[in-house]
Structure 1
Amino acid sequence: MTNEQLLPALLGVIFFLVAFFYIGDLENILGYETLALQSPATAKKKSFLEDPLGTSETNEHLDLFDWEKIYESRKNLTRDTCQALPNDHQDNTHIIEKVKAQILGPFSLRFVVDEKHKILYCELPKTGCTNWKKTLLKLIQPDTFGKMKWENIRSPHGKKGPNGYSYLNEYPLEKQLEYLDTFYKFSFVRHPLERLLSAYRDKVEKYLKKAPEFNDENWRRGKFHSFVRDLIENGLPRQPGQRRRHWSSFMYLCDFCSVGYDFIGKMDTLNTDVNYVLNDMNVSELTEYPTGYSTKSYNSLLVYYKGMGRETLEQLYLLYKTDFDAFGYTIPEKFYEYV
């Protein structure tokens, strides 16, 4: 090889080596090996023991454009689920018509109203609604709660009234119709199995703590299984009271088939969703929601559902099928195998 041929070859090798090491370092600097360049379908999942229902927040590094596509697809999925319901299960009457006809149940469609910022939040039990009430109280009553630290706002459910918050159904009919038509409407959902267990432990199990057998894990698990079997046998409450609404259907409580929600958040992607919706409502500088907050209790899921059996779990799935379908939730095969 002549000198004239050797020089370009050497320069090519040097360029390749420099590019290789530089790009490799750039990947570390910019996080190219993180989830930022991965689609939701390829994002790395946690192990079964870490995340038995497959709902962990794996896509937090996606960019805003990708997240907005995800948020739009959530609304589309909910709408498509409503349209696909059998005729005898469909209730797509527009919410304005339902309010006019005054046919809503007393514990359905509980919208917390923020008149100043034109926000309606539909509370769903066991999906972070206690924290959302704190967040909204800082907006609704800035002279009192707005000056308090978020963690110092105690018992937000008891802050209803002129010095706290109000529900939409407490307003005159014309105001209800106006707000439903013009305000920003949002809600948050959660995997039905996680939410059911959380509701059971909060509203049923805590009253069993005085039983001498309470410290026996098998006894507590058996009580939960009995609760689930009773629920399957009797069905979900159609007009639930204050307690039973905690395990009533999301679709019923917030009437997702009749209300055009601007945003549907998920507890699985809570931190990302909270940041987005607060910005989307132009209130991110005025209030807060706890960062790093997590509802995950994987050990409890595995403890309480263990031994339930595939047949019972499949019946439970059918009981909440509309919620599963409308919000894109499933029960992984590994979870079936475990129980």
Structure 2
Amino acid sequence: MKMSGFIKHSVLLFTLTVAGVLYLCISQLRYETVDNEVIDLLRKKDRNLVFETEIAFMARMKLRMQQRKAKLKQACVELGLEKVPFRPQVMMTVRSYNWINCRVQKAGSTNLAKLVSQLLGENDIKELSKMNPAVRLSGYHGAEALSLVKYQDVNQMKGFIKTITVREPVVRLVSAFTSKVENYQGGTDSRKNNTALAPWRSRDDMPENVTFAAFIQHVLYQHKAKSPFEGHWSVYNDACQPCHVEYDVICKLETILEDSRYMLNLIGAPRNVSFQAGYSSSGNMKNSLANATHWVKTLDPTTLKRLHKKYEMDYKLFDYDLPEYLKL
């Protein structure tokens, strides 16, 4: 009898283990439903487990996007940006998936490029790059470049999913500094070709180390002088004109795993394609919110006021909480 009980226990344990593996596989592959019997078995093992079917996930994400778009629309009206004329710009489209995306540098654009590479495949990328030189302008290594004459063109492209990815504005700005300035420090020749170091490009006495404060002064000067567009720290309205283009999906880097999963489902991407996250809001990564706060707090009050004026619009458009140090 004892052996019989042991066998029954072993079989039950094996069944639960297999069920757990099946559930994880189903979740990763983004199937439409999770078998109720599997859920029941797992809940008998742990009553605290919470499950979400793919249908429930898509419904929750749809609501999230509706809320983000509603807040964006409200901010556009309050800021008067709907009345600002649309400027022609280049956007990226992957026609095989009916997907149009506005590239925002320092907001996961490199990993998004890798995602496009997964969608198109290495062979397709090489061929597209040869056939279409404009591919390089889009920065998507093989994605087609779509030049928009007026925003109605993209809004009237039926069946296309239009997306944008944004990031907490100050974190994005600090990320631009760390990647485009800090990583170029040390007197290498490549620093002369770095857009972020443009103020000193023609000088023989280019400083060995450009400080964060000096970088911010350059960013603010470019904004005041209306210098040529620089995508790494441009405001979102200049980069993607969200008050004119009707984006279906507004991804935030802080919630990129769920947002990108939702977007990939909408465009019908293969189940093995996913966004490779490289960002964390936990404070553990170099470009975290905590690290950005450390850098920005070193600036003087006058500079902080100017920084607030430049990026206040970004905070309002995409419903980010304005940091205390910018509330001057």
TM-score by length of 1: 0.61
Query: Where in structure 2 are the equivalents of 1:82-121 lying within 5 Å?
Result: 82-86=76-80, 90-91=82-83, 103-104=87-88, 109-121=89-101
Query: Where in structure 2 are the equivalents of 1:136-147 lying within 5 Å?
Result: 136-141=116-121, 143-144=123-124
Q: Could you tell me how far apart the structure 2 residues matched to 1:220 and 1:78 are? A: 42
- In the other structure, the counterpart of 2:243 is 257
**By how many angstroms is 1:143 displaced?**
4.9
**By how many angstroms is 1:31 displaced?**
4.3
**By how many angstroms is 1:326 displaced?**
0.4
Q: Work out which of the residue numbers 41, 64, 71 in structure 2 matches 1:70.
A: 64
**By how many angstroms is 1:112 displaced?**
1.4
**Structure 2 CA distance for partners of 1:322 and 1:228, relative to 1, 3 Å:** same
Q: Structure 1 stretches (4+) deviating beyond 6 angstroms? A: 25-28, 219-222
Q: Work out which of the residue numbers 145, 148, 161 in structure 2 matches 1:167.
A: 145
Give the residue type in structure 1 aligned to 2:144: S
Q: Could you tell me how far apart the structure 2 residues matched to 1:178 and 1:235 are? A: 28
Query: Where in structure 2 are the equivalents of 1:9-88 lying within 5 Å?
Result: 29-31=47-49, 64-86=58-80
Give secondary structure in 2 for the equivalent of 1:116.
helix
Give secondary structure in 2 for the equivalent of 1:331.
coil
- Aligned pair 1:235/2:223, yes or no? yes
Identical amino acids, percent of aligned pairs: 23
- In the other structure, the counterpart of 1:17 is none
Contact 1:112–1:121 under 8 Å retained in 2: yes
Q: Work out which of the residue numbers 107, 125, 129 in structure 1 matches 2:105.
A: 125
Q: Which has the higher contact order (CA 8 A, sep 6+)?
A: 1
TM-score by length of 2: 0.62
Q: Work out which of the residue numbers 136, 140, 162 in structure 2 matches 1:185.
A: 162
**Structure 2 CA distance for partners of 1:114 and 1:239, relative to 1, 3 Å:** farther
Q: Could you tell me how far apart the structure 1 residues matched to 2:217 and 2:171 are? A: 17
Q: Could you tell me how far apart the structure 2 residues matched to 1:240 and 1:180 are? A: 29
**By how many angstroms is 1:114 displaced?**
0.9
Number of residues of Structure 1 aligned to a counterpart in Structure 2 = 248
Give secondary structure in 2 for the equivalent of 1:235.
helix
Structure 1 unaligned spans of 5+ = 1-24, 37-61, 147-156, 212-218
Deviations 1:26-80 (A, max 9, x none): 8963347x9x9xxxxxxxxxxxxxxxxxxxxxxxxx9554432221111111111
Contact 1:91–1:257 under 8 Å retained in 2: no
